[in-house]
Structure 1
């Protein structure tokens, strides 16, 4: 009888598809080959099997393999599922369990990978029919795959391509079969890092296709997150802000070694001052936005050529600056001639007032002004400025003032000093004016700003009648009413509201508009309606327009009907609007939205208006935006801007709003940006702050509740401290450590300015964990669904809602959804709106909430959607679920209820997690005093003001 020869082999069988179901990922495979064929037997990787057939392996490997056995997995399942033994897990909780399981097996594979070469590997893979499997040899690679991304354009749409780098070679991800964190190609397996696996999972969940036609959204929602951890090649599909402009040529004058006059050529590109050595471009980050300044070599070389030609010695000097001895500078009046030549060529000169070698003129500056003509809000004056017998050219003087200089070079080689009193009196007129030889044209309403000049002789005062100045003085100092309300107004004004109405009326009488910037809740709407009624009383045939966010349209309509029922108004907004109604309107007030004005500008700009009001005027803070351009084109005799926060991000926010109210007074946007905004925001220039305050003070009226509404019920603001449990806090610490490492590596490699976006995103993620881990992508939640804030809030609401009404604000609409779910479970009735809620629905909910007998006592509101324009005085409790780094935004939220009409004491709570970034944000808020507060209000520049020490503190 023939002996059957049998060949035996033992291997590890990998079943990657099991990552989707039973998790029998690894088994022991016994292979018997004989003349009859091949037989396969499978055994679990329990201790008995390992000790019998795998003793040749190191103990550490056997300890790892046993964790793949069914018994070990059952113990792991029990541990993970223990919190859900007494209840059926929700879909979110099931997803969390699955994520935790994948992380567990990834950790096992990661530990096993270094020993993979000691094992024989087979794998079981699904055949094309989807039902059958085959077993075949495979390998488990020790190479570490790395992901890289690049953007491509396919059929006119942006797509994200993923590449896998293996041993220096690049492969398209589509070349691999992917089983969660395992990649397979040609029977070889590669283990992704867990971070890479999470990234691919996040990308798979993200609907990238919706952004294919929108590069800005594609960058914002996809690339910015990827670029926290990966290099993404954008292939110029997403351009950074690029500045390509003809530079302003400038010369910095200084002294070298006490013996030489030094001239350093500089070029000003949109406010950025560059010097040699030459580079094709200069990159920086401003307010979190990448900026690339492309230098104009032709323009710079042309300027250098002119400069070199001004002295024989300059052609041999190659240090990036040029110098002559003091003796050479004064010989044949070389410096004086060069000075005037440079100014005539439009070249700025700076540093003049820092020169010590040159003597100062014995003459004081003398100035005469004669008003020649006044027309259409402009005034033309003849002006002379002189030192002794030497009369200065106004155009040269203007250039020196715009360059920040307070001294001018005179013909005798001395320096004429423009002293502080002269600067106070004349510098604004010269800077803001249009000059033609010895004539200068300025906005007539600058006369009102002269009142801020501390009593110096006022140049423009005679442009406005004495009677008006008397009323202005009375308004500032007196308590008697200057103007009586028309009988059509059905309201009793508080004294400060009467003052606000009179301020608007006074400015209009002088031909000026203004920005009413009272605290939220002080009745800006009512004060404006009173002025509208006054104007309509004197101009009954006029048509007036109110432009506001769509969410406030019905609020304006209600307030007009309530306080001035005799004034006819029409809402022009929504899909059913009819342009012919506006063209033939007999209504005295048109109420519309910013979006409608932009879309129907041809219709709305065809009318001549008496009064144009823009509410929440910071909506036009971007001067280059289309909506700003359209709003500024509204033809109106009187222009009023309303905003509780006219400065949101920086001083430049003021320009468009004031330019609407006072057309032409503040010059071009480029002038304002360079003269005020850049100097204040970038350099914190105290002199420019005072100058801008002087100009704007008469035209911005801002009162706080502490100043004018002392009779309002008390407002108590408190912090509701929460202490995370161990699971939530462990998750917080784990992610905080990851973020901190990434951020400081980013700062080290790219610098602080270029890392501000990463800081902002890191802060956002930690704040989300403080709210609820469920706000994180599922892959990052680490089996934690605990939210101590939710527990604390629900507990507080249960205590107060029987007798009180409450508002709950959150920055995250998804957090409000989670709170709504919890309220449903607890049978707590509520209203809820966010940015997606239609305006009409919002006002319907607000009106219902305000009704005295309404039993729904809770309102869940998105912070940005509901922090302005709403009156919710029925509530006396406010909960800020997540702190905001701009305290003004928090105050606006509280002011939804702490406003005129409130009769109860208001209690406002910030819910803060102890020992987290939230606590540190509050502490930093106390330390950071923002510049815009000195002008008109709070600034939202908290992030921009962070230095590296602050960032280390936040993530400590």
Structure 2
């Protein structure tokens, strides 16, 4: 975890009462300087990086300069105090100051360097931070302390303000540097046998330019003395900074990014750039520094394995590119891997091997690393994110059609992987990009646009790539089918929503609501399920709402089971600490849900409190979520024929029948995030005469592949409807056999829905694609769509040159209230 910097202000100051403020600073030392090559220049702001997996000290805090190079460590006594505060996020930001020194190697003491560590905390955590520091024996010098005025803190604040005034001009300049036209490029014809579309040739030219250009990295310039200066950080360097070889390849989903990347790999296969003769290109000898292995490591989810293999089979000469699947049983010999042109592995494999001795993927300096479906690493604290960031590579590529899924914070891990300085340092990302966006500052969005313009390529099917004749993809239309609930369903829904609002009002203040955060999420989940079918959730709302405002799981095993179903019933529950689906789900006695690894880290902190409700916790207060039984795969879980169908199921059946009548050969995909709903739909659809298949997250990679192949079959007995989970069919899956998509229920995250529908609307699709959203009127589903639209405005705005608007934060307490119909 990187501790980031912030402008300091007095307690209680500023417009936002929850904004972190400067609590004070502690005097410490940076030690171990002789072991690292990184140095600090005058005016530079180093960053603190937590190293919880450090084998010598689990409290280790590394010090990095603005170029991301390590200078040393914070001395052990101080690290022991600060590490728990950083891990628990009680200390929100830090600012490190090295007084009166221009170089970490300067002075008589080569082994350590004195420093001041300024601690920023939110108002609610400030007292805990002060108490933890005081109890440790360290001295906290706050803004009212006489020594504070004698320090350089005020000077640092003024320097920060000055740099902020000029920074927007710098961003505007770097954005224009990326506007030079890149010529289209052909792939090597002796490797790639398929013709590329024009937009793919342009992308290939851009990729090659990014890899082979010797331009200075963004924000660097040559000074009058023959040295180099970073105009954004004021960092000076005598040697020319290496170029930023790589970037973000963010073309819309379905535009053939994989084939373009294979063409890039084919060009660098041989010692001479091109790997073979490419039409319209000249051979050019590579730099001496690029001698050696030219192996590309591709990191992707397991579901994308088959996509890479299929693309290789369809578009390259057999055997022209040697591929090794580093998954399951795998070699430990890095020499074996370096004999291949492409090594394909998964994020989870890298996470498992992170820090392991003898792992070949960690020891190799890869010629190129490609992160496919790179939005998976949006959580910078996740182990797999740290693993890919630590890989050694000459060229680094981020590939995703949805680089932003929730907020601009999703982009920081991508910058860290790319080693794009200074934005790979969290303090700079926070101060220059994230905070201005969160405050609604238009300059924040402008900076983000210019930054992405300098290092990314993004085209969409509807705009930049032009007409059907260019890319061969027929149009896609998205419509909303509004559904009226029956009188009985409406009465049930309104009763449940009313009960939920009453319960929220019982909770009362913010703190009480946070203590019952999981209950609120549980209520929202049940209301969303009720829009689909009452069979998905218990009818009696009082049976799954707590009887009082502070129920204890330890005394109520039934409540424990109910909370476990919150994770099991839907695909979109994330741990609030790491923002990823929990691997091993733990429920606290105060009814909050986390990853086991995340909450155990919190317990090691000085406070040992629940991050949501601040209730004291120990290991005795943690409970592993019990397994939740799902219906079997047969029809026993399907809707019985003598029970009336829900309004939404009836609407789906009518739409499917109408579509089949218009085109008997047409195929449809029905997406739902609820696995139980997919099972419940099987019976009614089969009785209506549809031949169906199901694709969900419980299936193995091989089973999913078999289902997809079977769905693509044609003929009188071929399946016509695929019931699919959004995550199971959301990445690397080709469903172009279908031409109609039904989104049975809306997701929080619009990026996940876009991924799902673009499994159908992609290169290879021959028919116009129709996407139908089934939305219940006057319900929580309409409010989810409103939340989606907010996020879409951010995503589209980040890649445009002139867009107004402000950054939307993650789903917050206020938005939970809106979901329950309390209004904005």
TM-score normalised to the size of structure 1? 0.52
| Counterpart position of 1:604 | 361
1-side partners of 2:190 and 2:422: how far apart?
35
- Is it true that 1:871 corresponds to 2:747 in the alignment? no
Residues 729 and 297 of structure 1, relative CA distance in 2, 3 Å threshold: same
Per-residue Cα deviation, 1:837-896 (whole angstroms, up to 9, x for no partner): 111222222233224447111111101221222221111111000022333332222211
Quote how far apart the aligned CAs of 1:304 are: 3.7
Q: Which residue of 2 aligns with 1:500?
A: 203
Q: Is the alpha carbon distance of 1:846 and 1:573 closer, same or farther for their aligned partners in structure 2, counting shifts above 3 Å? A: farther
1:911 to 748, 770, 774: 774
Tell me the equivalent position of 1:837.
699
Once residues 814 and 796 of structure 2 are traced to their aligned partners in structure 1, the CA distance between those partners, rounded to angstroms, is 17
Counterparts in 2 of 1:907 and 1:694: CA distance versus 1, 3 Å: closer
The CA deviation string for residues 149-172 of structure 1, in whole angstroms up to 9 with x for no partner, is xxxxxxxxxxxxxxxxxxxxxxxx
Asked if structure 2 preserves the Cα contact closer than 8 Å seen for 1:557 and 1:591, the reply is no
**3-state SS in 1 of match to 2:774:** strand
Alignment partners' CA distance in 2, 1:719 and 1:742: 32
- Change over 3 Å in CA distance of 1:726–1:875 after alignment to 2: same
Which structure carries more strand by proportion? 1
1:701 corresponds to 2:404: no
Counterpart among 610, 620, 629 of residue 377 in structure 2: 620
1:943 matched to which residue of 2?
Answer: 811
How far does residue 639 in structure 1 lie from its aligned partner after superposition?
1.1
Match among 502, 506, 509 for residue 748 of structure 1 = 509
* Alignment equivalent of 1:404, drawn from 161, 164, 172: 161
Quote the Cα distance in structure 1 between the aligned partners of 2:452 and 2:747: 29
* Structure 1 residues 522 and 946: CA distance shift in structure 2, 3 A: farther
Instruction: State the Cα deviation string for residues 612-662 of structure 1 (Å, max 9, x = none).
Output: 111111222222322122212322221111111112233222122122223
Counterpart of 2:263?
530
CA deviation string 1:465-512 (max 9, x = no partner): xxxx9xx7232xxxx535665442122222222121111111111342
Number of paired residues? 557
Candidates 478, 492, 507, aligned match of 1:717: 478
What is aligned with 2:175?
Answer: 452
Aligned to 1:730: 491
Aligned to 2:533: 772
Q: Per-residue deviation at 1:821?
A: 3.4
Change (3 A) 1:419 1:684: closer
- State whether residues 524 and 819 of structure 2, in contact with CA within 8 Å, keep that contact through their aligned partners in structure 1: no
Unaligned runs of 5+ in 2: 1-84, 98-115, 214-242, 276-292, 544-641, 801-805
Contact 2:736/2:762 (8 A) holds in 1: yes
TM-superposed deviation, 1:932: 4.7
Q: Which moved more, 1:923-932 or 1:858-867?
A: 923-932
Aligned to 1:242: 88
Report the counterpart of residue 546 of structure 1 in structure 2: 298
User: What does residue range 873-888 of structure 1 map to in structure 2 within 5 Å?
Assistant: 873-888=736-751
Match of 2:419 in 1: 662
Match of 1:519 among 246, 249, 252: 252
CA distance in 2, matches of 1:515, 1:647: 12
Give the whole-Å Cα distance in 1 for the aligned partners of 2:339 and 2:682.
45
Equivalent residue for 2:683, pick from 821, 824, 828: 821
Instruction: For residue 453 of structure 2, give the secondary structure of its aligned residue in structure 1.
Output: helix
Give 1:572-651 correspondences, 5 Å limit.
Answer: 572-580=325-333, 583=336, 586-600=339-353, 602-651=359-408
**Structure 2 CA distance for aligned equivalents of residues 781 and 453 of structure 1:** 59
Does 2:651 correspond to 1:792? yes
Q: 1:630 to 1:891 in 2, by over 3 A?
A: closer
Distance apart, 1:279 and its partner CA? 3.2
Tell whether the 8 Å contact from 1:774 to 1:781 is kept in structure 2 after alignment: no
Distance in 1, matches of 2:372 and 2:134, equals 42
Q: Which has the larger radius of gyration?
A: 1
Q: For the structure 1 residues 572 and 651, does the alpha-carbon distance in structure 2 shift closer, same or farther, using more than 3 Å as the test?
A: same
Judge conservation of contact 2:440–2:807 (CA < 8 Å) in 1.
no
Q: 2:146 aligns with which of 308, 318, 330?
A: 308
Moved more, 492-501 or 904-913: 492-501
Match of 1:810 in 2: 672
Deviations 1:695-753 (A, max 9, x none): 33221212121111431322222122222222222221111111111123335352777
- Once residues 870 and 861 of structure 1 are traced to their aligned partners in structure 2, the CA distance between those partners, rounded to angstroms, is 11
Q: 2:368–2:394: 8 Å Cα contact kept in structure 1? A: yes
Partner residue in 1 for 2:216: none
CA distance in 2, matches of 1:856, 1:581: 45
Change (3 A) 1:863 1:663: same
* Cα separation, 1, equivalents of 2:122 and 2:781: 38
Conserved in 1, the CA contact under 8 Å of 2:184 and 2:204? no
Confirm or deny: 8 A CA contact 1:242 1:294 kept in the other structure.
no
CA distance in 2, matches of 1:614, 1:871: 19
Match of 2:127 among 279, 303, 328: 279
Q: Which runs of 5+ in 1 are unaligned?
A: 1-238, 252-265, 283-292, 311-337, 350-395, 407-417, 429-448, 455-468
Structure 1 position 918, deviation (Å)? 1.7
CA distance in 2, matches of 1:955, 1:784: 35
SS at match of 1:605: helix
* Contact 1:616-1:644 at 8 Å conserved across structures: yes
Picking from 703, 711, 720, the partner of 1:857 is: 720
Q: Distance in 2 between matches of 1:954 and 1:710?
A: 44
Task: Measure the CA separation in 2 of the matches of 1:628 and 1:497.
Answer: 29
TM-score (ref. length: structure 2): 0.60
- Whether the 8 Å contact between 1:773 and 1:786 is mirrored in structure 2 is no
Match of 1:410 in 2: none
User: Where do 1:362-511 residues align within 5 Å?
Assistant: 400-401=158-159, 403-405=160-162, 420=166, 423-424=167-168, 450-452=173-175, 473-475=180-182, 480-481=183-184, 485-510=188-213, 511=243
Encode CA deviations 1:663-688: one digit per residue, 9 max, x unaligned: 5442423442344334433x233323
Cα displacement string for residues 758-789 of structure 1 (whole angstroms, at most 9, x for unaligned residues): 54433221110011111113755999975211
